[in-house]
Structure 1
Amino acid sequence: MARTIFISSEDSVFCRKVMELSIQPLATRALAVDSWLLVPSSQQFATEISRRIAACNVVIAVFSRRGNANILCEVGMAIGYGKPVIPIIHSLEQVPAMLRAYDAVVFDDNNFERLKQQIDQRLDVILAGSFSDQRVRDHVAQIRGKPPSQNEVTPPDVLDPLSVAIARYRMRDYEGAISILEDAFAGKRVASAHAYYYLADSYFLLGESLPRGERMFETHRKLLLWAELGCSQFPADERLGKTLGLAYLKNNNIEAARRQFQSLIARNPNNEIARYNMACIQAQAGELLPCIQTLAELFERQRDNDSWRLLARLDPDFDPFWREDLFQRLLYPSQ
């Protein structure tokens, strides 16, 4: 499901220029732009605008020099729905009191390209949050229509296959990492939990990049094989346990995945990654209320860290529940 930027602005030549030159070029197949300037509202203006703001992911508020009370009203709705807001304004002195805690974009009337870059940077921060899992950042890059950034990592000048494989893994060369580690396992040059984890996770990430088909299915079978081998050798390793749960999920064994993540949570109640993956399983099984309960417990345990809520807003696993009222209120609590 596409994520949406809602533009709150008045109907003026300047605001239309901002929308056309600095915001619409940022749209992709997975990131849509909505505005009443693009799709006029019906006679029930307030009701429809409220609905459209509730359904969006980010609100960009364009303030002209003369100001507009309707924009303040729409920004108030956005804050009430818990939406991130990007104010665009001529001067920091003009920032309304309700928006002083937000990082406003101060723009130059004659430099719409610079304005586009500033909005682009803020969208990256808002959509990615502070969650460091590279899978999430790659998913954000897909939404933004940008290729995932390639880390400049030079393989070490040593003959340690695990170090070389990890370097390949960090460069997104998952096939290279797989080849190195499988050869190393065959030659009995590696046998650590790290080696099993990076081999299994390379299969997982390779499978994520493949189109649906026999090669993807074979990759998922190899993922399960190496995750099971790793867990049999290192049953207490949480990373391998998580990867085994994902392997079950990718091989359509939802109940085995459920048992695996339940086991990880029982073993370590602070394993928030396992809790999050349990919610993903419940979403795939269509279990709305258990999914909401699992996420609510996670958000409560991590009340000072909003990264998990930001992650859930982006995760395609939750798309079937995205417009459910209860789920919306969980993802966008009132401020």
Structure 2
Amino acid sequence: MSGDIKEQVGAAINESGKFSLQLDKSSDVQYQGKSDIEEDFLFCKRMETTTTDEDLFKLVDSFIKEEGFRWDQCLSVCSDGAPAMLGTCQGFTASDSDSLWLSRGKVLQRVLDMHAEVEIFLNKRKHTLASKLSEPGGLLKLAYLSDIFSELNLLNMSMQGKDETLISVSEKLRVFKANIRLWNGKIEQGKTTSFPLLKLILEDEEDASLVGVQNVIGGHLEKLSEEFDRYIPDVDLHEKYKWMCRPFDVHAEDLSEEESSIHNLQEELIEVQNDETLHFNFQHQILGVFWTTVKIEKPVLGCETVKVFLPFATTYLYESGFAALTAIKAKHRSRL
């Protein structure tokens, strides 16, 4: 049965012509199906020796060749950001998409809620961290961290889902980066409205003052902004691919020089814009489904859109799939 499924997935990938990979404990694949972007488990093999980037590449390369796929069919490779997954010497171009924050903001908030009990516990153990909670500003720093990690968790959760694309994720990241700059400006002005727990501590504790931690918080926000800029360049993908996101709101003659130089792209876009059925479908379908349908009769548009919608935006699909597989093999299998 598994062999039959493997053959079906392989045939579908070859029919699609292009695919994207996601690598971690196993490998997932995305390809354009008959009616939507499809995601499937591809393979899972044991690493017999070391797990260097070279070993990983050889394993994946071996599978690709065994199954009759080609690397020029692969549009992108997404990993969880682990060093072994991001080695550059063997040519993996990875979309660094870490989705493993796992409620750190909630943990910090729990520590904040129980800070008195935690401090007593640490003092009994004569732990060096005990003084951190009692020192001036210690509680304020903890409240700030809880607030900022809560925001990071919300960002992370918003990017999880089957229909997330590089464009939608890029938009959310641009908004978050703009918010970081906004928050930093507010802290410089002594305003804490964007940090509810920090604001609450300042209101409840008589001797608490933002002045003592203002530079620390501001410095952390600046560093966070720099890291986001370093890992995630500020590129407006929605504007760049506006004709894909809103094909009926653009003029074909206004496309970029790069796009207008693609033979028949503008002509096919004009045909789409004057098709009432496609206009109706666009209003009721997600982008992946819409452009997969369009590709049948408009191959040039389909070829270009697949480059944007096919890559994995985050590792969410792999993580959720692997968690389900683990649950089946562990809990439910023991009941059989």
Please identify the structure whose Cα radius of gyration is greater. Answer: 2
Q: Which TM-score applies when normalising by structure 1?
A: 0.26
